[in-house]
Amino acid sequence: MAMRKAALLCLILFAWPVGAAAKPPVLVELFTAQGCGPCGEANSHLGKLADRPGVLALTFSVDYWDYLGWTDTFARPEYAERQKAYVARLKLREPYTPQVVVDGRQEAQGQKTAEVERLVRQAQAQPHNPPDIRFVGARRVDVGSGRVVRGGAEVWLIRYDPREVEVSVKAGDNRGATVTQRNVVRQIERLGVWRGKPKAFRVPTASEEGLKTVVVVQAPKGGRVLGVGLARS
């Protein structure tokens, strides 16, 4: 029975019509920290980008400033690891905050909002030929056919809180300040590898309620973003 179901799923996937997928949103990733003094302007600008059509803006809180006296309430080690992959790929000396990475291709200091805007416009003008990404219920996502980079691409599941949240910082460099953040990432998991042919991936259970779900198909080790799919709420 299990083999029959697997065979049927393969038939469904490989019968998927090949066509031009919708142009994916530009993925803007802000690496920030509640204990980072210069991050306020970058957080505010990310909030504005979050409302812009054709842009998916996400906030990743990192933990490497916790030693200054305030433990970031949203930081997880895997977010800093994601940033480190970009640092290596983009040949930077070290991770820093606030940093913005656009479509896995280019980066800028988050407080330099004019430069961030330029990179977003540049990314929107790039030609795209993404694979189709479809969510099937709450527990499966299908990635269709498409061009793939050498070695295959990584498929990432990201869940984020779409609300604006405020955090009162009680220690460290931002002691006494209220930090406002938007689209804060709360969960990230690598689902597997996509090699250009249709493939189904299991979607893990959400870590908490009220989160939005997105799947990102990306060249390995912090490479360029090939496709972005958002689950319907």
Query: DSSP labels for 16-70?
Result: SPP-PPPPPPEEEEEEE-TT-GGGHHHHHHHHHHTTSTTEEEEEEE-STTGGGS-
| 179 CB-side CA count, 13 A | 29
- Phi then psi for residue 114, to 5 deg, are -65, -40
Nearest CA among 140, 144, 128 for reference residue 204: 140
Q: Give CA angle at 220 (214, 224), nearest 5°.
A: 65
Among 102-111, 185-194, 202-211, whose mean pLDDT is lowest? 202-211
Q: Are the C-beta atoms of residues 226 and 219 closer than 8 Å to each other?
A: yes
Instruction: Please state the rounded mean pLDDT for residues 80-107.
Output: 98
Confidence of residue 12 (pLDDT cuts 50, 70, 90): very low
Helix (H, G, I), strand (E, B) or coil at 86: helix
Task: Enumerate residues 6+ apart whose C-beta is below 8 A from 200.
Answer: 9, 13, 136, 140, 141, 142, 143
Architecture of domain 23-230: 3-Layer(aba) Sandwich (3.40)
Q: Are the C-beta atoms of residues 142 and 164 closer than 8 Å to each other?
A: no
Locate the domains of the chain by residue range.
23-230
Instruction: Please state the rounded mean pLDDT for residues 172-193.
Output: 96
Confidence of residue 130 (pLDDT cuts 50, 70, 90): very high
C-alpha span between 33 and 147 (Å, rounded): 36
Q: Can you give the C-alpha Rg of the chain in angstroms?
A: 18
Residue 58 has pLDDT above 50, yes or no: yes
